[in-house]
Amino acid sequence: MQKMKKLAKYLLPYRFAVAAAVFLIFLQCLTQLLLPDLMARMVDVGIIEGDIDYIYTMGVYMLIITVFSMIFSIAANYFTSKASAGFAKLLRKDLFDKVDYFSLEEFDRFGTSTLVTRTTNDVSQLQNVIMMMLRVVVVAPLTFLGSILLMLNKDVTLSLVVLAVVPLLAIFVYFVSRKIIPSVQEMQNQLDKVSRILRERLTGVRVIRAFNKEEAAAKQYEAANDDLTVVSLKVNRIVAILFPGMLFLMNLATIALLWFGSFRIETAGLTVGDMMAFIQYVTMIMMSVVMISFIFVVIPRAKVSADRILEVLNTNELIQDSENTVLFENKNQNKNENKNINENISENANENTNENANENANENANENANENIISDIPAVEFKNVSFRYSDSDKMILKDISFSIHHGETAALIGGTGSGKTSLISLVPRFYDVADGIVYVDGTDVRDVKQSDLRQKIGFVPQTAVLFSGTVAENIRYGKEDATDAEIWKALEIAQAAEFVENMEEGIQSYISQGGTNISGGQKQRLTIARAIVRRPEIYIFDDNFSALDYKTDADLRYALKTEIKDAAVLIVAQRVATIRNVSKIIVLDNGEIVGIGSDTELMETCSVYKEIVESQSGSMTENGADGGSSAGEGDNTDGDNTDGSSTNGSSTDGSSTDGSSTDSDGNGSDGDGSADNDNTDAEVTE
């Protein structure tokens, strides 16, 4: 009941349409009830007594009533449609808004397919039920009671005989409908399953083709489809019993009526017209019982849909803005004040020292400021952070502490599943920590509005996601009012300007759904441009550069470095070569930080890091020895080689040879890459 109340509020704005519909259906129902009596009189007076005028008069009355009935019915349908469609519109909107604010925890819990089915199919189910209920709720009881009263008015004994069948019908309907409810629930779940498999198969079509898995995919879909068919058939079998069963009972009532009616005509003076009216009343009574029983079929379905919808609407997002959110501005103000104070202090201090020393100190300070840290308060700081997903007890991150300042770049490296993506998801507060605190600009991320927090962050997820629309529209996801010039600048930094220029309509070129008409690397670059266009204070890249060839990767990082000097950058990387020049490398192993430092430091102190480096140069050696021809591995090899020669010459002496052996594969582009990389890497070096 509580549930129904919650859903009824969506009908509230359409209460006038509902009231009008109910009133019109009521009128239609009354007109229907008048007809049998008019017909009875027509037969008894007009036909039996041969009064033609009376037949005409009654005929005209009946015609007028029927026309009115039709008008009422059409108008009622208009209002019921208006109310039910409006209800569905509001409900869909609320569902969408709700889901829009779900944190990733809720998406993980529900899954995308069921959220789609709940917002579409389940809402349509409720819409249909409302349409039907508005009619049935008025028609069924009114017809039922009206017919009984009119019948009793004509012949009480005969009425009682006929009415004896009604409880039989009611009991039959009750038992059948009880069987339907669980099957309907199961049917809805199977429908979810089919749509989930369909979605997976369709989005993964390339993988399926590449691995010749069409048959397996078809089999999996077939199995789910079969399950759905089985359970749908089960429901329909019950429905199939229900209606003939009811018709049988209705016919039984009519036979009983004719049998006993004929006696009543002989003995109690029942007229033929009344007998015919009786038959119509019985039909109307049975029809109203059928209508009510139909409710029993539809309501369980609607209940399942309502439950599924309410489950979404009643979900409390695990991540919500706290009641007393603070503004970053305050912090920044403090920060600036602190900065001013520091500047004053250093000015005073400078005045008191000798001039030469002063100049040197200033130069050093400026260099440091330009290259590295801009303010004392870290842009991102993890303090003893532990984290686990809500559906599991296993701690994915354990006691993580590190910080990144504005103007600083840090790289996160570690094996697959070591927790890199989980870690960076905590910065924009996609998830909440289990323990410890994540600070952004010195403020606990739980203390600020999520929108304020995310405004500061340019997050590029691991999987490149583009929406159907133009390149410009996709980039403007990052900044709604970005000018064309800003978009081009972002594209330039993301190394995407060239290929967008070559597209027929430049930034107005259309990207099809999911970005299927551009390459993986191009897609990735557009998502990077989308983050850059908003000029955030913090950039987070989740292993986005591995989809790029090494030259583009290096060019992009160089452009980033020169264009976004003040921002803090956190890069998740798989290819060690791409981050070896970063001064702060954070090594993650099994959810724990096992080393923080520069490449040189880590090579000496961190066995996990050394292992990662060696494993990647190891694969290089194998490639070299085997004359490996994989383009991807070739890229990697070049990368390591370049990096090795520019930063760690001694330790990667071996890779130098590997590099040349890969080049000797005749991979021209690799050769190019390494030449450019030598340059760029030197410049990227922090």
Ligand X SMILES: Nc1ncnc2c1ncn2[C@@H]1O[C@H](COP(=O)(O)OP(=O)(O)OP(=O)(O)O)[C@@H](O)[C@H]1O
**Between 194 and 588, whose beta carbon lies closer to ligand X?**
588
Residues within window 365-384 making contact with ligand X, judged by CB under 6 A: none
Minimum CB–partner distance for residue 141 and ligand X (Å): 51
Minimum distance between the CB of residue 419 and ligand X, rounded to whole angstroms? Answer: 4
- By the rule CB under 6 A, 108 interacts with ligand X: yes
Q: Does 392 bind ligand X (CB under 6 A)?
A: yes
Residue 360 token pair: 């040197």
Amino acid at 567: A
Residues 364-373 as b or e (16 or more Cβ within 10 Å = b): eeeeeeeeeb
- Using the minimum distance from each CB to ligand X, give the nearer residue, 417 or 514: 417
Among the listed residues 118, 135, 301, 420, the single contact to ligand X using CB under 6 A: 420
Q: Candidates 125-133, 244-252, 419-427, 657-665 — which segment interacts with ligand X by CB under 6 A?
A: 419-427
Rounding to the nearest 10 degrees, give the CA dihedral for residues 573, 577, 579, 584. 110
Total of chain residues touching ligand X, rule CB under 6 A: 14
Pairing of strands 538-542, 457-460: parallel
Choices 121-129, 221-229, 261-269, 409-417 (CB under 6 A): range interacting with ligand X:
409-417
Of residues 430 and 539, the one with the C-beta less far from ligand X: 430
Options 110, 389, 477, 499; binder of ligand X; rule CB under 6 A: 389
* Bridge partners for 439 per DSSP: 381, 444
* Shortest Å, Cβ 213 to ligand X: 22
DSSP string, 308-363: HHHHHHTPPPSS---TT-B-HHHHHHHHHHHHHHHHHHHHHHHHHS-HHHHHHHHH
CA–CA gap between residue 395 and residue 412 (Å, rounded): 19
| Listed residue (101, 114, 110, 111) closest to 319, CA to CA | 101
Q: Does position 421 bind ligand X by CB under 6 A?
A: yes
Start-to-end Cα distance in the chain = 65
Among 36, 146, 414, 595, binds ligand X (CB under 6 A): 414
Alpha helices in 214-316 (DSSP H): 214-268, 272-313
Distance CA(474)–CA(529), nearest Å, equals: 9
Question: Does residue 417 belong to the site contacting ligand X (CB under 6 A)?
Answer: yes
Task: Verify binding: residue 428, ligand X, rule CB under 6 A.
Answer: no
State yes or no: residue 605 binds ligand X (CB under 6 A): no
Stretch that binds ligand X, among 113-121, 160-168, 386-394, 661-669 (CB under 6 A): 386-394
Q: Quick count: other Cβ atoms within 10 Å of Cβ 313? A: 16
- Give the list of residues 6+ apart from residue 105 with CB closer than 8 angstroms, or none: 317, 318, 319, 389, 390, 431
Q: Mark the segment that binds ligand X (CB under 6 A) among 70-78, 132-140, 410-418, 470-478.
A: 410-418
Is position 396 an interface residue for ligand X (rule: CB under 6 A)? yes
What is the C-alpha separation between 148 and 408, in angstroms, rounded? Answer: 85
Q: Which stretch binds ligand X (CB under 6 A): 113-121, 222-230, 341-349, 416-424?
A: 416-424
| Distance separating alpha carbons of residues 105 and 168, to the nearest angstrom | 51
Number of H helices, E strands in the chain: 26, 12
Q: Count other C-beta atoms under 10 Å from residue 605's C-beta.
A: 14
Q: Which of 366, 447, 445, 376 is nearest to 406 (CA)?
A: 376
Identify which of residues 425 and 652 has a Cβ nearer to ligand X in the complex: 425
Q: Minimum CB separation from ligand X for residue 463, in Å? A: 10
Q: Which is nearer to ligand X, 114 or 422 (CB)?
A: 422
Applying CB under 6 A, which of residues 422, 636, 647, 680 lies at the interface with ligand X? 422
β-sheet bridge partners, residue 573: 413
Each residue 459-488 as x (binds ligand X by CB under 6 A) or -, in order, gives ---x--------------------------
Minimum distance from residue 575 beta carbon to ligand X (Å): 12
- Closest CB to ligand X among residues 418, 450: 418
Considering the complex, state which of residue 398 and residue 525 has its C-beta at the smaller distance from ligand X: 398
Q: Which two tokens stand for residue 417?
A: 């599943």
Single out the segment in contact with ligand X by CB under 6 A; choices: 233-241, 282-290, 413-421, 605-613.
413-421
Shortest Å, Cβ 412 to ligand X? 8
**What is the spatial distance between Cα 582 and Cα 535, in angstroms, rounded to a whole number?**
21
416 contributes a contact to ligand X by CB under 6 A: yes
Among 46, 86, 261, 419, binds ligand X (CB under 6 A): 419
Report the distance separating Cα 378 and Cα 95, nearest Å.
38
Q: Which span (175-183, 199-207, 344-352, 411-419) binds ligand X, by CB under 6 A?
A: 411-419
Binding site for ligand X (CB under 6 A): 108, 389, 391-392, 396, 414, 416-422, 462
